[in-house]
Amino acid sequence: MANLRLPGPTPVPPDVYKAMSKEMIDHRGVEFAEMLRRTTANLKRAFQTENDLYVLTSSGTGAMEAAVVNTLSPGERVLGVTIGNFGDRFLKIASAYGASVNELKFPDGDVAIPEQIRQALKDDPDVTTVLVTHNETSTGITNDLETIAGIVKGEFDKMILVDAISSMGSIKLPVDEWGLDVVVAGSQKGWMCPPGLAMISFSERAWKAAETSKMPKFYFSLAEAEKSLKMGQTPWTPAISLLFGLDYAVQQMLARGDMQAVYDFHQEIAQYTRDGLKAMGIGLVAKDERFASNTVTAAWVPEGITDEALLAMLRDEYDIIAAEGRGLLTGRVFRIGHMGYVNQEDIDDVFGALKDALPKLGRQASAVGQA
C-alpha cells in the first residue's frame, strides 16, 4: 500500500472504511435523521461552537462558495487576505459572484501580517467582510487567526469568513471564542475520511447578512439546509456512505477526551517532520517556523533536480505519494502531508526514501537546502 503523504486526500483508517460499508439507508428516514443530528452535534463540539452547522455533499470549495453566496451581494466591498493558492481561490469565488474584492496578498512563505490587515480596513471603510484562509497548504503556513479575528471583529466590527478546510479538526480553531462568523472544512483532511463532504458553521451575524444577500444560490442555499435539518434531512441527496464514515470518525476523535489531544498530536508529528527535513539540509518554505503548518510541510526542491523527478522517484521506487507545488510555487517545492491518520513511522519512511533518492538524482542529503 502506498504511503499517501498528501495534504488531502489523506489516508483513511480501516475502521472508517468498515463504517462506510454499511447497507444503504433511506436518506429521508428515521435512521438517517438520527445519524445526521448526531454527526452535526459532534461536529459542533469539534468546531467548538454553538453556531448552526451543516454538512454539505461537496468538496471544501463548495463550502467556500456557500460561505460567499449566503452572506454577500454583488458589488459588496470585501477584503480578501491571501497568503497562497487557496487564499487566491477564496477571492476568485467572491469575485465570480460580483463582490468588489480588495486583495491583500502576502508573498508565498509569509504569514499574513495583522497590522497590514488593520491598515487595510482603516483605508477602506466600505469593507463589510473579510475573507481569510486559516491554514494555507500551498505554502505550509498557518495564519495567526486569533489576532486577525480580534482586529476584524473587535476593532472594526466586520464579518469574517474563514477557510479552515485544512486546519479544522487538526489545529486549534475555537470558533466561538474567536468570534468567527463562517468557517468551512472538508472531510478529506484531518477528519480521516474520503473527499466528498464539507462542513460549514454559520453565526447569528452571518444569518443577518443572509437576510439581505442577493448573490444567486440554489444547491448551496443554507436556508434550504436549515429547513431540511429541522426534519433530520439534507435538502438534496447526501453522500450517505461518506456520512457513515464521518459519523464514526468524529466520534473517535472526540473519544480522546477533548480536541486538545488532537491538536497536540498534530503539533508533534509536524515538528518531527520539519526537524527531519532540516536535518537533511532541506529548506522549508515557511520563513518563520512559528507559523509553519501542523498539517502539511512545504519544502524547497533541491537545486539541480526537478520536482517531477523527485516526486516520480518517491512514487515509483518507494511507494510514497508526496504533493507538488501549487500556484506560484509550482515546480519549486514539494509538500508532505501529516494530518489525520498518520504516525511517526510513515514520516520515517519519507525520510528514508529522501536519503536514498536524492543521491540518485545527483544531490547529497547534506547539501540539499534551498539558497
pLDDT of 296-322, one tens digit each?
999 999 989 999 999 999 999 999 999
Tell me the pLDDT of the chain averaged across its residues. 96
Nearest to 70 by CA among 206, 175, 164, 203: 206
Q: pTM to 2 decimals? A: 0.95
Pairing outcome for strands 129-133 and 159-163: parallel
pLDDT at 8: 96
Q: pLDDT-based confidence at 327, cuts 50/70/90?
A: confident
All residues at 6 or more sequence positions from 325 whose CB lies less than 8 Å from its CB, including other chains = 138, 298, 301, 307, 331, 332, 333, 334, 335
Quote the DSSP letter at residue 363: -
Average pLDDT over residues 248-253: 97
Contact yes or no for 309/361 (Cβ under 8 A): yes
Compute the distance between CA of residue 199 and CA of residue 151 in angstroms, rounded to an integer. Answer: 25
All residues at 6 or more sequence positions from 308 whose CB lies less than 8 Å from its CB, including other chains = none
| Predicted confidence (pLDDT) per residue in 333-349, tens digit | 999 999 999 999 999 99
Q: Is the predicted pLDDT of residue 293 greater than 90, yes or no?
A: yes
Q: pLDDT-based confidence at 364, cuts 50/70/90?
A: low
| Predicted confidence (pLDDT) per residue in 87-117, tens digit | 999 999 999 999 999 999 999 999 999 999 9
Q: Is the predicted pLDDT of residue 243 greater than 60, yes or no?
A: yes
Q: Cell numbers for 107, please give them.
A: 508573498
Compute the distance between CA of residue 163 and CA of residue 5 in angstroms, rounded to an integer. Answer: 22
Q: Is the predicted pLDDT of residue 371 greater than 90, yes or no?
A: no
| Predicted confidence (pLDDT) per residue in 166-190, tens digit | 999 999 999 999 999 999 999 999 9
Q: pLDDT-based confidence at 37, cuts 50/70/90?
A: very high
Q: pLDDT-based confidence at 363, cuts 50/70/90?
A: confident
| SS3 label, residue 42 | helix
pLDDT at 367: 43
Share of the chain above pLDDT 90, in %: 95
Average pLDDT over residues 7-30: 98
Cross-strand bridge partners of residue 80? 103, 131
Compute the distance between CA of residue 108 and CA of residue 140 in angstroms, rounded to an integer. Answer: 10
Cross-strand bridge partners of residue 324? 334
Q: Is the predicted pLDDT of residue 365 greater than 90, yes or no?
A: no
CA torsion, ordered 226, 229, 231, 236, to nearest 10 deg? 90
Residues 62, 63, 64, CA angle at the centre, nearest 5°? 90
pLDDT at 34: 98
Q: pLDDT-based confidence at 256, cuts 50/70/90?
A: confident
| Radius of gyration of the chain from its Cα atoms, rounded to whole angstroms | 21
pLDDT at 1: 82
Nearest to 160 by CA among 89, 68, 238: 68
Share of the chain above pLDDT 70, in %: 98
